[in-house]
């Protein structure tokens, strides 16, 4: 998850919507295979009524988008090197033509010249370039795959509960009868995988909202959705906007199967207790992740692995990595902890970072405790260590029931925990907090092989109780831990020290 944090009119919503407006450009670039140094293709903006309005009136510069892939290997099999950067540009020119685009691949800081002499095909690559006087082959596959990922995204604007008579779309969301017909087809059609998917979405919504029973079906003539909540019938327009948007958003995401979800203000119409659950569950329908824009600092800090601030800078916007340090009590205020307490959430659970927040949210749900425990990230080693008694003691001012779970980083059975974590445990116990220093190395060492494969695919497998994840040949990213936690068998986990600790919260 990536978060964009900023005030109104800072540019964060425009940035999100850009990915939808440029969808055709990304798709055309992904499929572009012409030969020659002068790369050019045609593409039209999506949902832009006046195409020339994409240009800025204050200068004559081209509209340019530079995209770079980070954290991939520099060397590929077969003596190949991945091209990691591409520049897409649309020149204003005399006629301000918004349809003519150029594409340039980069090796380092230099544009790569593609000619008929150096263009070759190799293996699964649609295009590979061999530079003159070298044995190196440069592959465009990673860039093309990334552009294809962007072209298969789902954009969700701030208005997302439109179940009204009439058919159509609101940006990417099917609304009204268009959505109702799609829901009915998936629920009652001949494709049993679609039938099961609708059942799974309904169950997901039931858990998020905390209902005992829930069913959602199309009404007669497909004019609205009939919702049965705990045996009480409602039309969807008779229930709150929070539930209505869950149905529309989760249903659209299920049917679209997006790579990335771009969502504006996910906190709208939702109690603070439901906001993180909504985001996490939405992410389960996206193969690559979620990018969200928000006003809520607490939600952003709890959900985003990477967080940026967006602010006005003259007549443009400035985007920077968020690095502000706040106290735990201040963060609780940003999370609207008082609102959590109003619905019975009196317990605090401290975990290391944002990836652990989403993992514990899944485990608490399996234990039936997701509505009574608020999970608070410590910010990694900045607070999950010794010497932070003052910072942790401040929490006593706002909560009386406090627990903590941190990875021990043990190298072997019976080995001592990392010294910083032992110091953290001592501090917590001294303050009267319950604390679990995991018997195994880390949270991911509790994941069984069935859950790992169910979440990530058959090529992945569980790691040993004390094995480092990053040393495994086919390691997954810690940001995917919550996906695996969704698939865990709770009855098996509750027999471990981690499961017992959660069960006793």
Residue 349 reports pLDDT greater than 80: yes
CA distances from 466 to 74, 384, 451, 463, 471 (A): 30, 20, 18, 8, 11
At 452 the pLDDT is: 96
The candidate with the shortest Cα–Cα distance to 364, out of 464, 493, 230, is 493
What is the pLDDT confidence band of residue 37, given thresholds at 50, 70 and 90? very low
Q: What angle do CA 87, 90, 92 make, to 5 degrees?
A: 140
User: What mean pLDDT is predicted for residues 156-171?
Assistant: 74
What is the pLDDT confidence band of residue 387, given thresholds at 50, 70 and 90? confident
Query: Of the ranges 314-328, 363-377, 440-454, which one carries the lowest mean pLDDT score?
Result: 314-328
Looking only at the bridges linking them, the beta strands covering 80-82 and 137-139 are parallel
Contacts of 59 (CB under 8 A, 6+ apart): none
At 65 the pLDDT is: 93
What is the pLDDT confidence band of residue 50, given thresholds at 50, 70 and 90? confident
Residue 75 reports pLDDT greater than 90: no
What is the pLDDT confidence band of residue 38, given thresholds at 50, 70 and 90? low
Stated pTM of the model: 0.88
Best mean pLDDT range from 365-374, 380-389, 430-439: 430-439
The candidate with the shortest Cα–Cα distance to 471, out of 438, 445, 433, 501, is 445
Contacts of 239 (CB under 8 A, 6+ apart): 227, 229
User: What mean pLDDT is predicted for residues 495-505?
Assistant: 96
Average pLDDT, the chain: 87
User: What mean pLDDT is predicted for residues 427-440?
Assistant: 96
Residue 131 reports pLDDT greater than 70: no
Q: Are 53 and 73 in contact (CB under 8 A)?
A: no
Instruction: Tell me the sheet residues that pair with 319.
Output: 310
Residue ranges of alpha helices (H) inside 271-346 are 272-283, 297-303, 328-334, 337-342
- Report whether CATH 3.40.50 matches the domain 343-503: yes
CA distance 216 to 362: 24
Looking at residue 26, the DSSP 8-state letter turns out to be H
The full DSSP string for 219-256 is -GGGSSEEEEETTEEEEGGGS-HHHHHHHHHHHHHHHH
Residue 313 reports pLDDT greater than 90: no
Residue 194 three-state SS:
helix
At 464 the pLDDT is: 95
Residue 380 reports pLDDT greater than 60: yes
At 35 the pLDDT is: 47
At 297 the pLDDT is: 87
Residue 359 reports pLDDT greater than 80: yes
Contacts of 23 (CB under 8 A, 6+ apart): 46, 150, 151, 153
Q: Which helix (H) or strand (E) holds 68?
A: strand 63-68
CA distance 45 to 487: 39
At 312 the pLDDT is: 86
pLDDT digits (tens, 9 = 90+) for 273-285: 889 989 999 999 9
At 166 the pLDDT is: 64
CA distance 334 to 207: 25
At 448 the pLDDT is: 95
Best mean pLDDT range from 136-140, 379-383, 421-425: 421-425
Quick count: other Cβ atoms within 10 Å of Cβ 484?
24
CA distance 126 to 148: 13
**Which pair of tokens denotes residue 131?**
């530079």
User: What mean pLDDT is predicted for residues 443-451?
Assistant: 96
The candidate with the shortest Cα–Cα distance to 270, out of 295, 247, 243, is 243
What is the pLDDT confidence band of residue 457, given thresholds at 50, 70 and 90? very high
In the chain, domain spans = 21-151, 154-318, 343-503
At 36 the pLDDT is: 47
Check for a shared fold between 154-318 and 343-503: yes
**Largest CA-CA distance found in the chain, in angstroms, rounded:** 75
User: What mean pLDDT is predicted for residues 82-111?
Assistant: 80
Residue 165 reports pLDDT greater than 70: no
Instruction: Tell me the sheet residues that pair with 348.
Output: 374, 402
Residue 114 three-state SS:
coil
CA distance 198 to 184: 9
CA distance 403 to 398: 14
Contacts of 83 (CB under 8 A, 6+ apart): 105, 106, 107, 112, 129, 138, 139, 140, 142, 143
3-state percent helix, strand, coil for the chain, nearest multiple of 5: 40, 25, 40
Best mean pLDDT range from 232-246, 435-449, 472-486: 435-449
At 136 the pLDDT is: 72
What is the pLDDT confidence band of residue 375, given thresholds at 50, 70 and 90? very high
Looking at residue 200, the DSSP 8-state letter turns out to be H
Residue 164 reports pLDDT greater than 90: no
CA distance 503 to 495: 10
pLDDT digits (tens, 9 = 90+) for 182-198: 999 999 999 999 999 99
Query: Could you tell me which CATH number the domain at 154-318 has?
Result: 3.40.50.300
The candidate with the shortest Cα–Cα distance to 443, out of 470, 405, 476, 417, is 405
Q: What angle do CA 151, 141, 81 make, to 5 degrees?
A: 145
Contacts of 274 (CB under 8 A, 6+ apart): 208, 209, 242
User: What mean pLDDT is predicted for residues 212-225?
Assistant: 88
Query: Of the ranges 99-108, 143-152, 159-168, 370-379, which one carries the lowest mean pLDDT score?
Result: 159-168
What percentage of the chain has pLDDT greater than the value 70?
Answer: 91
Burial of 431 (0-12, 13-18, 19+ CB in 10 A): middle
**Which pair of tokens denotes residue 128?**
């590979």
Burial of 196 (0-12, 13-18, 19+ CB in 10 A): exposed
CA distances from 370 to 44, 247, 340, 374 (A): 45, 20, 11, 8
DSSP collapsed to 3 states, 138-167: EECHHHHHHHHHHHCCEEECCCCCCCCCCE
Q: Are 258 and 287 in contact (CB under 8 A)?
A: yes
Instruction: Tell me the sheet residues that pair with 125.
Output: 122
Query: Of the ranges 98-107, 110-119, 169-178, 418-427, which one carries the lowest mean pLDDT score?
Result: 110-119
What is the pLDDT confidence band of residue 80, given thresholds at 50, 70 and 90? confident
CA distance 280 to 217: 25
Residue 287 reports pLDDT greater than 60: yes
What is the pLDDT confidence band of residue 170, given thresholds at 50, 70 and 90? confident
């Amino acid at each position: 998850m990536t978060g964009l944090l900023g005030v109104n009119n800072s540019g964060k919503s425009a940035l999100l919507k850009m990915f939808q407006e440029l969808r055709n450009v990304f798709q055309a670039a992904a499929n572009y295979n012409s030969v020659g140094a002068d790369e050019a293709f045609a593409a039209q903006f999506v949902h832009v009524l006046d195409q020339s309005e994409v240009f800025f009136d204050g200068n004559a510069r081209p509209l340019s988008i530079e995209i770079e892939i980070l954290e991939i290997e520099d060397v590929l099999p077969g003596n190949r090197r991945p091209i990691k950067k591409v520049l897409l540009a649309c020149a204003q020119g005399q006629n301000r033509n918004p349809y003519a685009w150029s594409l340039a691949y980069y090796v380092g800081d230099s544009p790569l010249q593609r000619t008929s002499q150096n263009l070759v095909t190799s293996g699964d690559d649609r295009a590979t370039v061999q530079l003159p006087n070298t044995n190196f082959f440069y592959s465009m596959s990673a860039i093309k795959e990334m552009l294809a990922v962007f072209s298969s995204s789902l954009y969700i604007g701030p208005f997302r509960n439109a179940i009204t008579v009439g058919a159509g779309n609101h940006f990417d969301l099917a609304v009204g009868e268009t959505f109702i017909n799609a829901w009915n087809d998936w629920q009652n059609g001949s494709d049993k995988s679609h039938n099961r998917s609708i059942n799974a979405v309904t169950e997901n919504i039931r858990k998020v909202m905390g209902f005992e029973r829930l069913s959602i079906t199309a009404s007669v003539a497909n004019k609205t959705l009939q919702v049965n909540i705990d045996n009480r019938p409602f039309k969807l327009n008779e229930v709150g906007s929070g539930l209505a948007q869950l149905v529309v958003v989760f249903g659209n995401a299920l049917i679209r199967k997006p790579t990335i979800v771009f969502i504006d203000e996910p906190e709208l119409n939702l109690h603070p207790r439901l906001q993180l659950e909504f985001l996490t569950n939405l992410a389960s329908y996206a193969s690559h992740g979620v990018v969200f824009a928000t006003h809520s600092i607490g939600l952003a800090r709890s959900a985003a692995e990477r967080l940026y601030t967006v602010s006005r800078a003259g007549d443009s916007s400035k985007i920077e990595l968020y690095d502000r340090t706040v106290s735990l009590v201040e963060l609780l205020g940003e999370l609207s902890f008082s609102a959590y307490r109003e619905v019975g959430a009196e317990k605090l659970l401290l975990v290391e970072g944002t990836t652990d927040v989403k993992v514990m949210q899944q485990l608490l749900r399996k234990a039936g405790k997701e509505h009574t425990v608020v999970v608070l990230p410590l910010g990694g080693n900045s607070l999950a260590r010794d010497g932070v008694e003052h910072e942790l003691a401040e929490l006593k001012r706002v909560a009386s029931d406090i627990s903590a779970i941190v990875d021990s980083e043990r190298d072997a059975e019976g080995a001592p925990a990392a010294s910083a974590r032992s110091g953290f445990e001592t501090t917590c116990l001294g303050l009267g907090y319950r604390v679990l220093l995991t018997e195994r190395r880390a949270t991911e060492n509790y994941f069984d092989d069935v859950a790992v494969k169910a979440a990530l695919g058959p090529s992945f497998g569980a790691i040993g109780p004390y094995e480092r994840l990053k040393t495994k040949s086919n390691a997954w990213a810690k940001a995917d831990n919550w996906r695996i936690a969704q698939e865990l068998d709770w009855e098996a986990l509750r027999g471990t020290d981690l499961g017992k600790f959660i069960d006793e919260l």
